[in-house]
Amino acid sequence: MKLMRLCECGCGDPVQRLGNRFLYHHHRKGKSPTEEHRRRISESLQGHKMPEEQRLRLSKYRTGRKLSKEHSRKISEGLKGHVHSEETKRKISQAQVGRPQPEQQRKNAPRPRPLFPNS
């Protein structure tokens, strides 16, 4: 009879390799990185740019995914009271220049009032 060693994290799953004590990543279960470790990770990632191919794959993967109602609500609550600076507003405005408006947006846009309405 073959004796199966169980993962020492407490999950009770059998460990596949003979010399291992834990399943993959189970040695960190329930532990958070220290502030020092978080700072070092942050410093190592400074200036890191994601390759274009990876960005496109992530974009394709995320496109069309629906957020749960709870997730949408949490995002909404997190953005409550957020105010854009004047510089940010200007940048957003400049990014929209030259982009065609969707038909629905044009239809719902407020019409300019005539200067002399009763003439």
Place of tokens 């059998």: 14
Q: Please return the burial class of 96, using the count of CB atoms within 10 Å of its CB with bins 0-12, 13-18 and 19+.
A: exposed
Question: How far, in Å, CA of 9 to CA of 30, rounded?
Answer: 9
Place of tokens 């600076």: 85
Quick: pLDDT tens for 19-43. 888 888 888 888 888 999 999 999 9
Q: How many residues does the chain have?
A: 119
* CA dihedral for 40, 43, 56, 100, sign (positive or negative): positive
Quick: pLDDT tens for 77-99. 999 999 999 999 999 999 999 88
Domain ranges of the chain: 1-31
pTM: 0.38
Complete DSSP assignment for 9-62: TTT-PBPSSTT-SS-TTGGGTT----HHHHHHHHHHHTT----HHHHHHHHHHH
- Mean per-residue pLDDT for 56-82? 94
